[in-house]
Structures are given as structure tokens and as C-alpha cells.
């Protein structure tokens, strides 16, 4: 970080009453950029603290280590009057309050937007929900699998391989995408308040966020009325658009333009296909890309992955080796940019920390903190509140 430069969100305080992935990922992004995120947990802790917890760590699993880094933790039982009073003090001194508790439950506890804005009109109140409050699903619970199912995402793989069974993408992708929408929403609301002095209530619904995310390309012909073609971006659901086998593994090759399709076919010794009526014109090469994919698949087993990479890279064709997930920490590019870092946690010992991927030239690299232990900052945060009371 540039000497003397503040962190990007320095001075922005966020009271975070979220759990699992959606909300914590949102606030992790903001903590990485310098916001003071106070994670409020029940006495038993965020359930996701258990995810990936090895037997030799006190109470901090792998997912908690990544999703809650750089935050401070305080434990409060909001059903207890004394702890609820502490929570109100915390929110009174914060810029943003974010939670993923059902609205009716928050109202019963006295923490609805209307309850809080009476005392703090400029509060940014962010509610992470499964489904938007205006629709019939409003009171339903939502987790990643539910959202993948509801958005049609679980039907995508069937369109690729013909297996009629719906399947989930093996990632908490809906949670994480919604978390990014949440971080975007917080930043926009902060900018609005800086300009106008106004606080506001912000709702971030996972279902609507992930639907938009997936349908940016997959709505496809249904963008028009009447529809011009079925939903599903053809290039993404083409069965031939899969990693290509090589003599010693697999490779991803992306001849994205009609010109690079022609080059790729020539490089694998199938330039003759350019005389095929299906591929003889620029438009034909784009419309019949599956024919080119099939030809590539037949040719690539003739050479090793390394040999093909050298050939394709030399001719400007995007290509990368298919790597097993377990080998990603050995990637030479990620090593060169110091993406994975071995660091020591004060209580959990050595672990791998991922560097924030975005660079900000004005401030340079910003330090990333550790994930907090359960209630680690109870005394510190309560002392800050006491000092604030004395200063009033």
C-alpha cells in the first residue's frame, strides 16, 4: 500500500449480522477493501464456522477462514435485552447494517428498517434475502441448491450432454454471485449517501440476482417477442464445446472468431474443412462451430498438451491445459503474482490466504486480515462503545 494512503473503504463501518455464504462473502469483499466489518454472531457462532474444520483447530473451519477474513467478531444474543441494547449502539455508530434474517423476525426483535431509521436516518440498511419481498416466494428460505433449481440452472448440463437428470453446478455459485451483487449494492448506497446525506433500505434477493446473472446470455432468443430461438446460449450448451483430449491430458481451445476458427483448423491439419460449405464463409464458421470443434477433437490426441499449447499460443489462439482442482496452487502464473500466500493465524496456525484479485493503483496493495475467533473482539468492541458513550 502506498505510504500514508488510506485503505479504500477506511472509515466505513459495517455491522454484519449475516451467516453461511451469501452475506459473509459480500462483507468479505468490503473488508478486503478496508471497511471495518463487525461480525455479530450468536453465542454458538455462525454455523459455517464448522465447514471444513479440521480436528486440530479450536473452532474455525476452512470456509470461515476465507469468508470472514479481516472482520471483527462479537457475540450477542439479540433476544436478551442487554445484548439487544449493545446491538443498537453498534448500529448507531455504523454506516451500514447488513443481515440475512427474515424480515418478520427482525421486526419482532425491534431491528426492522423502520425501527432503526427513527434513531439513525442516514443508516444504510441492507437485507440479503432469498426471494424479493414483493413476490409470492417472499417468505421461503433459500440456499444455493434451491436457487440453482428455481433459476433453471440445474437444467443446463442436460442441454449439454443429453442426460435428462437435472444437476447442480458443483459450486456455491448462486450464494457467491448474490454476495457480489450485495457488495455492489452497499457501495452504490454509500456513494448515494455521500452525495445526498440520505440513508436507505436496500434489498438484495438471491433469486432475482442469480436469474439475471445466468440469463445475461442464456435468455438468448427469448429476449425477443415473439421468441426467435429457444433459451440457452448455443455456444455454451454445445456438446462439442468441451475440453479436447491430448496425448497426455486435456486442453481448452477457444477459437472464438471466424478468423481464429480457420487458423485453428489449419494448425491441427484440417484446413481442408474450410472448403466444406458449412465452414467456407465467415458466417458459416460461426454458425457451424460444432463441426470445427469435432474436427479439433479428432486431431488433438496426436500431440501432448504442452506441444499444442506452444502451437496455439504462437498463433494467438486462446488455449490452456485442463488442470485438476487439486493442482491449482502450483500454477506458475498464480505463483508469480503471489496469489496464494502461506501465513500464520494467531490461533489456527499456518494456512493459505488468497490475495484479493483486484488491484487499485491509487493505494497499492491493501493488507488482508485474518478470520476472527468466535467473540474474539467482544471486549474491544464493548470498550469502543463505552468510550463513545463517555464522549457524548
pLDDT band at residue 171 under the 50/70/90 scheme: very high
Domain of 63, CATH number, reads: 3.40.50.10540
Which DSSP category does 301 fall into? G
User: What does the pLDDT look like over 269-312, one tens digit per residue?
Assistant: 999 999 999 999 999 998 899 999 999 999 999 999 999 999 99
CA 215 to chain centre: 17
The pTM for the full model equals 0.94
Same domain, 293 and 367: no
What Rg do the C-alpha atoms of the chain give, in angstroms?
25
Same domain, 36 and 178: yes
Q: Does residue 105 sit within a domain?
A: yes
pLDDT at residue 6, as a whole number: 80
Same domain, 202 and 270: no
Same domain, 82 and 187: yes
Cis amide prior to 226 (ω within 30 degrees): yes
Please tell me whether residue 232 adopts helix, strand or coil conformation: coil
Domain of 298, CATH number, reads: 3.30.1540.10
From 272, 306, 321, give the residue that closes a domain.
Answer: 321
pLDDT of 3 strictly over 80: no
Q: Does residue 206 sit within a domain?
A: yes
Residue 299: partners with Cβ closer than 8 Å, 6 or more residues away: 268, 269, 270
Domain range for 301 is: 244-321
Provide the pairing of β-strand 244-245 with 200-205: unpaired
pLDDT band at residue 391 under the 50/70/90 scheme: confident
- Alpha carbon distance 155, 151 (integer Å): 9
Q: Does residue 228 sit within a domain?
A: no
Same domain, 36 and 141: yes
- Alpha carbon distance 155, 149 (integer Å): 8
Same domain, 311 and 387: no
Task: Using alpha carbons, select from 330, 102, 149 the residue that is nearest to residue 158.
Answer: 149
Q: Quick one: CA torsion of 250, 251, 252, 253, rounded to 10 degrees?
A: -130
Beta bridge partners of 99: 17, 127
pLDDT at residue 338, as a whole number: 96
User: What does the pLDDT look like over 186-237, one tens digit per residue?
Assistant: 999 999 999 999 999 999 999 999 999 999 999 999 999 999 999 999 999 9
Q: Does residue 45 sit within a domain?
A: yes
Same domain, 120 and 30: yes
Same domain, 56 and 104: yes
- Alpha carbon distance 90, 40 (integer Å): 10
- Alpha carbon distance 104, 101 (integer Å): 8
pLDDT at residue 55, as a whole number: 73
Q: Does residue 89 sit within a domain?
A: yes
pLDDT of 1 strictly over 60: no
pLDDT at residue 5, as a whole number: 65
Same domain, 150 and 298: no
pLDDT at residue 108, as a whole number: 96
Three-state secondary structure readout of 193-231: HHHHCCCEEEEEEHHHHHHHHHHHHHCHHHHCCCCCCCC
pLDDT at residue 4, as a whole number: 58
pLDDT of 66 strictly over 90: yes
- Alpha carbon distance 211, 35 (integer Å): 29
Same domain, 28 and 122: yes
Same domain, 18 and 161: yes
Q: Does residue 231 sit within a domain?
A: no
Distance from first CA to last CA of the chain, Å, rounded? 34
pLDDT at residue 57, as a whole number: 60
From 296, 321, 346, give the residue that closes a domain.
Answer: 321
Q: Are 352 and 340 in contact (CB under 8 A)?
A: yes
Q: How many domains does the chain have?
A: 2
User: What does the pLDDT look like over 156-170, one tens digit per residue?
Assistant: 999 999 999 999 999
Q: Does residue 347 sit within a domain?
A: no
Q: Where are the beta strands (DSSP E) in 46-199?
A: 72-75, 96-99, 124-129
Average pLDDT over residues 81-88: 98
Other CB atoms within a 10 A radius of the CB of residue 197 amount to 9
Same domain, 295 and 210: no
Mean residue pLDDT across the chain: 95
Residue 165: partners with Cβ closer than 8 Å, 6 or more residues away: 158
pLDDT of 65 strictly over 60: yes
Q: Does residue 230 sit within a domain?
A: no
Amino acid at each position: 500500500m502506498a505510504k500514508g494512503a488510506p485503505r479504500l473503504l477506511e472509515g466505513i463501518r459495517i455491522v454484519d449480522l449475516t451467516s453461511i455464504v451469501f452475506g459473509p462473502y459480500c462483507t468479505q469483499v468490503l473488508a478486503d477493501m478496508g471497511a471495518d466489518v463487525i461480525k455479530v454472531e450468536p453465542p454458538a457462532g455462525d454455523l459455517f464456522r464448522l465447514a471444513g474444520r479440521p480436528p486440530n483447530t479450536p473452532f474455525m473451519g476452512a470456509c470461515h477462514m476465507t469468508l470472514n477474513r479481516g472482520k471483527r467478531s462479537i457475540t450477542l444474543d439479540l433476544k436478551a435485552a442487554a445484548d439487544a441494547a449493545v446491538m443498537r449502539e453498534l448500529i448507531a455508530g455504523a454506516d451500514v447494517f447488513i443481515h440475512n434474517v427474515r424480515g418478520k423476525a427482525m421486526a419482532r426483535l425491534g431491528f426492522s428498517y423502520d425501527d432503526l431509521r427513527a434513531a439513525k436516518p442516514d443508516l444504510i440498511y441492507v437485507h440479503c434475502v432469498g426471494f424479493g419481498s414483493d413476490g409470492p416466494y417472499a417468505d421461503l428460505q433459500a440456499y444455493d441448491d434451491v436457487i440453482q433449481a428455481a433459476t433453471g440452472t440445474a437444467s443446463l448440463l442436460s442441454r449439454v450432454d443429453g442426460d435428462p437428470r437435472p444437476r447442480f453446478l458443483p459450486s456455491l455459485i448462486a450464494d457467491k454471485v448474490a454476495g457480489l451483487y450485495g457488495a455492489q449494492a452497499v457501495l452504490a448506497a454509500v456513494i448515494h449517501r455521500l452525495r445526498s446525506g440520505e440513508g436507505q433500505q436496500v434489498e438484495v434477493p438471491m433469486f432475482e440476482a442469480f436469474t439475471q446473472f445466468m440469463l445475461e446470455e442464456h435468455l438468448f432468443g427469448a429476449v425477443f417477442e415473439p421468441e426467435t430461438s429457444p433459451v440457452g446460449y448455443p455456444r455454451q450448451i454445445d456438446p462439442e464445446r468441451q475440453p479436447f483430449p491430448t496425448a497426455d491430458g486435456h486442453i481448452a481451445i477457444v477459437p472464438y472468431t471466424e478468423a481464429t476458427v480457420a487458423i485453428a483448423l489449419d494448425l491441427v491439419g484440417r484446413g481442408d474443412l474450410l472448403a466444406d460449405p458449412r465452414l467456407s464463409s465467415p458466417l458459416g464458421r460461426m454458425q457451424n462451430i460444432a463441426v470445427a470443434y469435432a474436427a479439433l477433437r479428432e486431431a488433438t490426441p496426436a500431440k501432448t498438451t504442452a506441444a499444442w499449447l506452444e502451437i496455439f499460443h504462437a498463433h494467438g489462439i486462446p488455449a490452456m491445459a485442463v488442470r485438476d482442482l487439486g493442482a491449482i496452487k502450483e500454477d506458475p502464473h498464480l505463483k508469480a503474482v503471489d496469489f496464494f500466500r502461506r501465513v500464520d493465524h494467531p490461533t489456527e496456525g499456518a494456512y493459505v490466504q488468497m490475495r484479493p484479485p483486484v488491484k487499485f493503483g491509487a493505494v497499492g496493495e491493501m493488507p488482508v486480515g485474518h478470520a476472527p475467533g468466535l467473540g474474539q473482539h467482544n471486549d474491544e468492541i464493548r470498550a469502543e462503545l463505552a468510550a463513545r458513550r463517555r464522549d457524548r
